[in-house]
């Protein structure tokens, strides 16, 4: 499942709202005088038509209705340059000055289907990259002196562009020296390090030569679409086919969506229910630097590899082991990659289904029995619905069954864990809310034309009316935010955790082939934002997300993760509240008392104190922008970090499901189920966020002993 909600109806609306078919006439001339050389990549005639069509759709039907003007043109240029050379390692200041000629003309070119500037900039980038490959080969013929006291700054995003080729050479010299020093300290021989680094850049150069015109086109078009909003994207036919396959079929491997960002194959998304997701050792923006097969296979460095080639190493037959070296997306400068061990599986969408557990917990001198429902995604079998199947699989049906079972087991309260739940079906978000409240509005929707509507739970029955805790984190998004926001607004339960992602928009998939028929090439798809969500209070979930009643420590800042980290994200705003009747389960006094309890827990509970200390350490470590290139100093830096990491890494690896000792492995279904239950219980015991939610929910029950809980019925 993707981290956005898909609305299908507006796709058909585009066809009847006056969007004309696109065609080019011979009299349209290029506005930029540029002659492509024999070696240059060039746009196709089909791509020019797609560019013009996408421009029409975005300017007429995108929620934002951003005018195509000089201001947008400027953003597109900056985005494109950043997309190509975000770390400022290839272009020089003179190149950037030369590109200024396009700053206020890209808007005009988009309307005319003119891609000259896009390809001119890329071809210069291609030339500069080849110059870098030549420089690296020359540099690696000379010995490195690791006794000189100098420093390297890996993150150059905010640095000035190199003034000239000589300054760029110096930046690259330090980058290469940094890699060789790391390998030297890890025990790799100098000759082997030189050989491996030469192979890395030789491989990168070959990949560069394999880049096709359609790859350049997608990069440029997404520099355009993402200037309007981060969730609007153009997908070339190859990417669209992969997307459609992922939405419809099962996955095989570790269960992660990968993309090349700079030199690193980067995790974009974890497939719900897969090995990578369940390991809890990986997250979006983590970078894979090396891959090894089996328990003892040697690591292969994949920095600079194309994604397709890296995937060939990472994928493999189910039940086999793959080991990854991971550089965390939020790692401090100079961090040592951690090793993550995963067992490949065939992953089906149902692996993302809700799970139920019983938790035994003691607090305030009393034993409690709590129900835990873990919900990785909001799923709904739309095909089953279409066929009229009465027992089609859905989130609300599964959770309703669990709640009925938990009530029969006389639990004292229920925790609904929505951490890392990126969303899914809007219908299910509404239906799930309906299990906890009487009938009433759940979420409001504002369409691109300004029309506002509300989605209602129309079933007056309540499946569960007992104490409820909703656990969220920074990666709870979209449908998760709709549900958590509704529970909070109805004062139906307590929301605990981190501020959520802040994605309050809906995307529609548009098959561009419907408007460009008869083209020799497939034309791909456009994912476009056409709606925005609002809570029943009128507050948008966009940008701000849902702020928990009790906010737990977080290692993820809004500036780095979430919707608010995206410069082009739609803004937060408000519309009128809709009529609804909140319950009396939670009030300001209870929330204030629980926050007071939480402050006491911060001082007394070991797991929380360790969590806060770890976050403080890493925040300070991330403030360090340079690393030493002097061997003795670098060794000291690495040893200090290893001491800090060793215990945490051991705990992470212990959490990964491992087979029993080789002496005796029981493979019957009962033994496997018991082993999984044991591993899950051990992970829960080490889960500081879950433990604190258990404390707070039982504190809530203790503070409000009358919680039966009876809900005031909504007025129609």
Catalytic residues: 478, 489, 503
For the chain, the residue count is 716
Q: Give 362's strand partners.
A: 367
Greatest CA span in the chain, whole angstroms?
Answer: 84
Counting Cα atoms < 13 Å in the Cβ hemisphere of 419 gives: 22
Task: List for the chain the helix, strand, coil content (%; round to 5).
Answer: 45, 15, 40
| Residue 556: how many other CB atoms lie within 10 Å | 20
Dihedral angle sign, alpha carbons of residues 379, 384, 390, 393: negative
The DSSP output letter for 40 is: S
Q: Residues 218-256, buried b or exposed e (16+ Cβ, 10 A)?
A: bbbbbbbbbbbbbbbbbbbbebbeebeebeeeebbbbbb
d(CA 10, CA 643): 55
d(CA 127, CA 39): 10
Residue in the structure block whose two tokens are 């984190």: 473
Phi and psi dihedrals of 202, rounded to 5? -65, -40
Residue in the structure block whose two tokens are 């079933």: 459
| Residue 39: how many other CB atoms lie within 10 Å | 10
d(CA 45, CA 48): 5
Cα–chain center distance at 276: 13
Report which of 609, 582, 593, 516 is spatially closest to residue 549, judged by C-alpha positions: 593
Q: Do the beta carbons of residue 498 and residue 554 sit within 8 Å?
A: yes
Q: Do the beta carbons of residue 689 and residue 471 sit within 8 Å?
A: yes
Q: Do the beta carbons of residue 170 and residue 266 sit within 8 Å?
A: no
């Amino acid at each position: 499942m993707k981290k956005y909600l898909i609305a299908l109806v507006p796709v058909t609306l585009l066809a009847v709202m006056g969007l004309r078919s696109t065609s080019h006439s011979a009299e349209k001339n290029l506005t930029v005088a540029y002659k492509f050389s024999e070696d240059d990549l060039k746009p196709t005639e089909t791509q020019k038509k797609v560019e013009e069509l996408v421009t029409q759709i975005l300017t007429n039907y995108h929620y934002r209705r951003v005018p195509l003007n000089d201001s947008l043109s400027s953003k597109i240029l900056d985005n494109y340059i950043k997309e190509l050379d975000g770390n400022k390692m290839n272009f020089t200041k003179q190149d950037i000055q030369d590109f200024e000629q396009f700053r206020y003309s890209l808007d005009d070119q988009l309307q005319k289907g003119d891609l000259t500037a896009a390809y001119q900039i890329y071809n210069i980038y291609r030339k500069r990259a080849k110059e870098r490959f030549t420089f690296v080969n020359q540099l690696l013929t000379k010995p490195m002196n690791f006794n000189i006291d100098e420093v390297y700054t890996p993150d150059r995003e905010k640095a000035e562009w190199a003034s000239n080729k000589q300054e760029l050479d110096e930046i690259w010299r330090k980058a290469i020296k940094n890699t060789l020093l790391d390998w030297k300290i890890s025990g790799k021989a100098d000759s082997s390090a030189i050989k491996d680094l030469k192979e890395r850049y030789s491989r990168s150069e070959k990949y560069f030569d394999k880049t096709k015109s359609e790859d350049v086109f997608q990069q440029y078009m997404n520099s355009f679409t993402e200037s309007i909003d981060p969730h609007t994207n153009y997908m070339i036919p190859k990417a669209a086919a992969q997307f459609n396959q992922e939405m419809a079929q099962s996955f095989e491997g570790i269960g992660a969506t990968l993309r090349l960002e700079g030199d690193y194959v980067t995790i974009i998304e974890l497939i719900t229910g897969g090995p990578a997701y369940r390991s809890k050792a990986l997250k979006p923006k983590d970078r894979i630097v090396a891959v090894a097969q089996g328990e003892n296979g040697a690591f292969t460095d994949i920095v600079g590899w194309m994604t397709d080639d890296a995937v060939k190493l990472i994928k493999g037959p189910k039940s086999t082991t793959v080991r990854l070296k991971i550089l965390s997306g939020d790692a401090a400068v100079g961090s040592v990659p951690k090793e993550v061990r995963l067992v490949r599986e065939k992953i089906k969408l149902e692996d993302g289904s809700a799970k139920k557990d019983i938790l035994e917990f003691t607090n305030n001198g009393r034993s409690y029995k709590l129900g835990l429902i873990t919900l990785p995604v909001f799923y709904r079998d739309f095909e089953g619905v279409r066929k009229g199947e009465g027992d089609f699989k859905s989130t609300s049906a599964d959770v309703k069954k669990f709640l009925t079972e938990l009530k029969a087991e006389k639990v004292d309260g229920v925790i609904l864990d929505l951490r890392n739940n990126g969303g899914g079906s809007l219908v299910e978000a509404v239906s799930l809310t309906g299990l906890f409240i009487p009938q009433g509005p759940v979420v409001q929707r504002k369409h691109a034309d300004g029309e506002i509507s509300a989605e209602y739970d129309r079933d007056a029955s309540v499946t569960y009316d007992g104490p409820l805790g909703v656990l969220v984190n920074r990666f709870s998004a979209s449908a998760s935010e709709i549900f958590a926001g509704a529970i909070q607004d109805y004062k139906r339960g307590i929301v605990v955790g981190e501020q959520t992602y802040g994605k309050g928009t809906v995307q529609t998939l548009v098959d561009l082939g419907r408007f460009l028929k008869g083209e020799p090439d497939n034309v791909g798809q456009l994912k476009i934002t056409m709606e925005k969500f609002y809570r029943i209070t009128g507050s948008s979930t966009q940008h701000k997300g849902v702020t928990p009643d009790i906010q737990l420590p977080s290692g993820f800042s809004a500036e780095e993760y979430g919707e608010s980290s995206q410069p082009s994200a739609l803004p937060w705003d408000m519309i009128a509240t809709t009529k609804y009747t909140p319950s009396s389960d939670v009030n300001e006094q209870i929330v204030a008392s629980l926050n007071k309890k939480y402050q006491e827990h911060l001082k007394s509970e070991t797991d929380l104190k360790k969590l806060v200390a770890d976050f403080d350490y890493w925040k300070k470590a991330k403030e360090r922008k340079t690393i030493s290139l002097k061997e003795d100093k670098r060794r000291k830096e690495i040893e200090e970090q290893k001491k800090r990491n060793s215990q945490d890494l051991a705990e992470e690896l212990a959490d990964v499901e491992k087979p029993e000792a080789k002496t005796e492995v029981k493979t019957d279904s009962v033994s496997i189920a018991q082993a999984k239950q044991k591993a899950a219980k051990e992970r829960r015991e080490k889960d500081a966020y879950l433990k604190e939610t258990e404390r707070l929910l039982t504190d809530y029950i203790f503070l409000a002993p009358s919680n039966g809980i009876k809900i005031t019925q909504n007025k129609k």
